[in-house]
Amino acid sequence: MTDPFIRIDNVSKKFGTFQAVQDVSLTVAQGEIFSLLGGSGCGKTTLLRMLAGFEEPSAGQIFIDGQDMAGVPPWQRPVHMMFQSYALFPHMSVEKNVGYGLKHEDMTAAQRKARVAEMLELVQLTPYGHRKPHQISGGQRQRVALARALARQPKLLLLDEPLAALDKKLREHTQFELMSIQERTGVTFIVVTHDQEEAMTLSDRIAVMDKGRVKQVGAPTEVYEYPNSRFVAGFIGSITAFPAKVLAVEGDMATVLVAAFQGEVQARAVPGLSVGQEVTLAVRPEKLVISQVRPEGANVIAGQVKDLAYFGKDSLYRITLPSGELISVHSVNAGRSAGGRPDWDDQVYLSFAPAAAILLVE
C-alpha cells in the first residue's frame, strides 16, 4: 500500500489546560481538496497551524510526502499558507509579494521574473504588478495571496478561511476560480472553513470537527446524506430531529416509533441498531413532500401550516405536528400559480421516503 500524501497520526495539541486538538488522525491524498469544517474553537485552525509548522503537536506525528514534520521549522516545510487576512506585505508591490518566496529558490533573476509573471497570469492580475496591496480591491488581494503561496510550488497549500473576507457575489466566483486553479496546478489543498456551503462546494472530502475532535470524514454527499452523529447532521445543512424508539429491524429497514409524529415510521437502518434502542430520527427539510391530500403509503404525518416563507423559486414551511412540535419543509415551487400550494393554517400531509430519513445513534 502506498503511503498517503499527508498523514496526521493521533495528533493532539494542548495550550495550558485547554485541549485544542484531541487525538486527530487523518489522511489526505495528493491533489485533493480537503476541508476542515467546524465552528470557532473546534481546533481546525490549530490543526492547520501545526501543518504549517507554527505550532508543534503536543502528541502525535504529521507526515507530508513521507517526511516526518516533527521539529521542522515553518521556513523549511514544503507547505505554504494563504492567511485569512491574506498577510500581504504592505511595503512591497504585488510583484514583490508574489516573488517573495522565490528569493529562497535557486533561480536566476530572469527565471524569478518569469515565474512571478506566470503566477500573476494565473490569477489574472498581470496589469497590477506594480501596485501596492492597499491600492487593489479585496478580491484582488486574495488572489495575490494565492499567487504568492503558489509561487514556490508547494506540495501542500493551506487555506485559512479563504473566502471569509469576500462579499457574497465575489465568494461564489472565487470559489470556482480556486477549484480551477487547484485543478491546473495539481497542488494539494487543505482548507479551513466554518462555512458548510463553502466546504461542500469546494472540497473532495470534508472532515467535520467539534471540540478538538474529528466527528466525521467523507465526501460532501456522504457527510450531508449520511451524517454519523447529531452534531454532523445539525452542523451541515438544516435538519429537524426527533427522539425515536426502535420497534423492529428488518434487513436495512427499521421501524421506529416517533412520539412527535404520534405514530411509527420506516427509516433506513444503520449498523448496530437493536430493538428498544433510543435513537434520533432526523429529516432534512427538502426530503419532505408537502401535500393537501393524504398520500398513499407509509411515512405520512399530518400537520398544520404555522409559517410560510416564499423565496420565489422555493418556499419554506413550518408545520405544527399534532404533538405541538414544529418541523421545517422545503418545497420547490415548480408550478407558477399560487393555487394548490398550501397556505397559512391549512391542514397538510407530509411524507418522506424511508431512505430519506436519517437514524442517528450518537
Partner 1 sequence: MRNRIAHWLQGRGFRDVIIGLPYVWLLLFFFIPFCLVLAISFGSRTPTAPPFGYGGDHPWISFVGYSRLLHDELYIRAFLVSLSNAATATVLCLLLGYPMSLALTRVSASWRNILLMLVILPFWTSFLLRVYAWMGLMGKNSWFNGLLTDAYNLLTPAGWHLSSIPMMHSNFAVVLVMVYTYLPFMILPLYANLERLDPVLDEAAMDLGSRPFRVFLDVTLPQSLPGIIAGAMLVFIPAAGELVIPTLVGDASSPMIGRVIADEFSSASDWPMAASVAIALLLLMVGPMMLYTHYQTKAEAGEEP
Is 52 a binding residue for partner 1 by CB under 8 A? The answer is yes
- DSSP run (H or E) holding 231: helix 230-235
Residue numbers 58-97 binding partner 1 by CB under 8 A: 73-76, 79-81, 83, 85, 87-91
Closest distance to partner 1 from the beta carbon of 232 (Å) = 31
Contact positions with partner 1 (CB under 8 A) in 144-173: 148-149, 152
The verdict on 54 binding partner 1 (CB under 8 A) reads: yes
The residues facing 265 across adjacent strands are 256
Q: Confirm or reject binding of residue 112 to partner 1 (CB under 8 A).
A: no
Which cell goes with 347?
Answer: 391542514
**Residue 80 beta carbon to partner 1: minimum distance, rounded to whole angstroms:** 6
For residues 145 and 82, the answer to whether their CB atoms sit within 8 Å is yes
Q: Is 286 helix (H, G, I), strand (E, B) or coil?
A: helix
| Beta carbon of residue 275, minimum distance to partner 1 (angstroms, whole number) | 55
Q: Which is nearer to partner 1, 134 or 336 (CB)?
A: 134
Site string for partner 1, 8-47 (x = CB under 8 A): ----------------------------------------
Give the gyration radius of the chain's Cα atoms: 25
> What minimum distance in Å lies between the beta carbon of 151 and partner 1?
8
Smaller CB distance to partner 1: residue 17 or 274? 17
Taking residue 237's Cβ as centre, other Cβ atoms within 10 Å add up to 17
Give min distance, CB of 26 to partner 1, in A.
21
Output the smallest distance, CB 141 to partner 1, in A: 10
Question: Could you tell me the smallest distance in angstroms from the CB atom of residue 165 to partner 1?
Answer: 12
CB proximity list for 27: less than 8 A, separation 6 or greater = 4, 5, 6, 7, 8
130 binds partner 1 (CB under 8 A): no
For residue 92, report the phi and psi dihedrals to the nearest 5 degrees. -115, 150
The residue type found at 54 is: F
Pick 160 or 210: Cβ nearer partner 1 = 160
Q: State which residue, 88 or 192, has the beta carbon closest to partner 1.
A: 88
Using CB under 8 A as the binding rule, whether residue 313 contacts partner 1 is answered as no
Q: Interface residues with partner 1 (CB under 8 A)?
A: 52-54, 73-76, 79-81, 83, 85, 87-91, 100-101, 103-104, 132, 134, 148-149, 152
